[in-house]
Chain A
Amino acid sequence: MTVTINDVVVILPFLVASGGALLIILLDSFSAPRTPRRFLGGFTIFFLAVAALSAYIVPLRTESAFHGMVMMDGLARFLSVVVMLSAGFATLLAMDRLPEQGSARGEFYALLLFSAAGASLLASAADLVMVFLGLETLSIPAYAMAAALRRDVRSTEAGFKYFVLGAFATGFFLMGTALVYSSVGSTALGRLAAASASGWTEKPLLCMGAVMLLVGLAFKAAVVPFHMWAPDVYDGSPTPATAYFATGIKAAAFAALLRVVILSLPGMRAEEINGNEIGWHYIFWGLAAATMAVSSLTALVQKDVKRILAYSSVAHVGYLLIGLLAGKPGGAAVLFYLLVYTFMTVGAFAVVAYLENSKGGTKLSDYAGIAKRHPYAAAAMAVFLFSLAGIPPTGGFFAKFYLFKAAVQGGLINLTVLGVLFSVVSAYYYLRIVVAMYMEQGENQAVIDISPSAAVVTAICLCLLFTIIIGLYPTPYLSVAQASASMLP
């Protein structure tokens, strides 16, 4: 049992992020009690940047490290970087947002780094044990982040709900692991792929275990019908945490789905037994359709912008599930979609945070007439919402275009039609926010605005830049996603 330098290099992003988190806890403890903790945000962004860079410097290798536990392949690298990006933007939002709300301590940054470290570990997992550890390292700090505003009953409640549903999902994932282990005799994902390649219909424990693994991951990714926690948690959590949950954690959950289902259970995709067609292809088909339908229709009646964005993030999970089913071109489309989705969703939440900083609420009625008082923020929000709705020439349009193109190539015509249909429905609730901002009269015009905060404005500008650049010239980003997805079947 020796650890070589090659082993350590593979988990470098994880080491940098978790080491940074420990350092931030120390710095926080040794700083004077009443000094502002904004400088810790700077440290956080530095460590996230180093972690993302180290993921790119490490040479890709096909063999795994630590006796088959982790590996740094294209998928791990790409999704680690997406998570670090998301966490970096969340840090920018937190630097302005949290001090006012009675949570000026530095622990939020440390939790964010720990969570990002877990996500990077999850993305590079090559064994069910590592998937489990990555998921938990990702989730446990997230529960605390949701409840970061201790004096706010809504934030505490969000944290508690997230915890109960998250731990419940972990239980299912673990039972799935135990059943798979007792059937296959190993938790290595490679062994799982070999064991499920043929004759799996004769192995009831393997089938039951696979279903439980799927339920656990569906909870984490907020797939309908396991999505009930998402709107409450996204609504109650502090907005920087929400931005991270909606993008970084979603990317990590899809990393787990790609690793566990697409890469490790390709044999269980679809099979015909006694005239009945079974396999995860059909389960995912139903989940994708239900996710798109339920979330789009529920979002129509929401009255809070954060809740609308929460249901929108569930709807995007539905589109991403179509990509999972679409085979080889679908994998690249999913990665590209996750990248674009991160920019536009974080951007939208950044505008929400910006308006909250200006003492505004998050109700749809609070957004009435906001374009007069905050013309730039409203314009940025409009671009993000158009991108989320998939209107050209934004990044969101190309992401959806490639996803649906891959789905058509993969023969998923019905699902593609449903996807396009619900994109049209989703345009309605996105446009409701735009209409409120530009065409309605605000009741409370006498709100005192505070001066815009540099960090949030930076986050909005960067997201805006990338949303538009990817929309105008998507080729380089798409080719990176294609190269990263090359090992998917």
Chain B
Amino acid sequence: MISYDHYLVLALALFFIGVTGVVLRRNALIILMSIELMLNAVNLAVLAAARNMGDMYGHGLALFIMTVAAAEAAVGLALVLAMFRHRRTVNVDEFRNLKG
């Protein structure tokens, strides 16, 4: 029997894979994907909790997260494109004009 705890462990694992990706990977597009992974891990945790408790509010929250993630991805991809136009690369180590 798969319980809520299993879903939670899976969601947390996915979330921290995403966190690791944001911190370690240097490709801007992979960073973007890792952020999406974090948000989708949250969706999994929320939906599993909502099913577990028989509560509808969690489903609403998941819908909101998906909508906002789409908006965020649009802005993020536009910013990556703008950076690529300047630098001809999506390696974030090359983005170092701002240092103090």
Contact = CB atoms under 8 A, between A and B. Distances in A.
Do these two chains interact? Answer: yes
Contact of B45 (A132, A168, A178): A178
Contact of B71 (A140, A150, A156, A160): A140
A164 B97 contact: no
Interface residues of A, number: 42
Interface residues of B, number: 47
B87 interface: yes
Interface in B28-43: 28, 31, 35, 38-39, 41-42
A140 B100 contact: no
Interface stretch (A87-95, A301-309, A432-440): A301-309
B11 A171 contact: no
Interface in A141-172: 143-144, 147, 150, 153-154, 156-161, 163-164, 167-168, 170-171
A303 B100 contact: yes
Contacts of A185: 53, 55
Interface string B14-32: 0100110010000010010
B58 A307 contact: no
B79 A143 contact: yes
Contact of A161 (B11, B18, B78, B98): B98
A140 B71 CA distance: 8
Interface string B81-92: 011001100001
Interface in A196-212: 205
A177 interface: yes
A181 interface: yes
A307 B99 CA distance: 9
Contact of B72 (A140, A153, A236): A140
Given A168-B22, A175-B45, A236 B82 contact: no
B4 A136 contact: no
B79 A177 contact: no
B65 A174 contact: yes
Interface in A99-157: 129, 132-133, 136, 140, 143-144, 147, 150, 153-154, 156-157
B52 interface: yes
Contacts of B55: 185-186
B15 A175 contact: yes
A381 to B, nearest CB: 20
A282 B95 CA distance: 37
B57 to A, nearest CB: 6
B90 to A, nearest CB: 10
A187 B61 contact: yes
B75 A182 contact: no
Contacts of B76: 143, 163-164, 167
A235 B46 contact: no
Contacts of A156: 79, 82-83, 86
Contact of B82 (A132, A147, A174): A147
Given A175-B38, A175-B45, A236 B53 contact: no
Residue of B52, B55, B79, B86 ringed by the most chain A CB atoms within 10 A? B79
A179 interface: yes
Contact of B98 (A132, A170, A186, A232): A232
A359 B27 CA distance: 36
A181 B31 contact: no
A171 B35 CA distance: 7
Residue of A132, A167, A205 ringed by the most chain B CB atoms within 10 A? A167
28 contacts: A132-B64, A132-B65, A136-B68, A143-B75, A154-B97, A154-B98, A159-B79, A160-B83, A164-B35, A167-B76, A170-B72, A171-B15, A171-B35, A174-B42, A175-B41, A175-B42, A175-B45, A177-B42, A178-B49, A181-B58, A182-B45, A182-B46, A182-B48, A182-B52, A185-B55, A231-B98, A304-B100, A307-B100
Interface of A: 129, 132-133, 136, 140, 143-144, 147, 150, 153-154, 156-161, 163-164, 167-168, 170-171, 174-175, 177-179, 181-182, 185-187, 205, 231-232, 235-236, 302-304, 307
Given A160-B28, A187-B61, 5 more contacts: A129-B64, A144-B78, A164-B76, A174-B39, A302-B100
Q: Which 10 A-B pairs have the closest CB atoms?
A: A182-B49, A171-B38, A178-B45, A232-B98, A174-B42, A153-B86, A160-B79, A156-B82, A307-B100, A167-B35
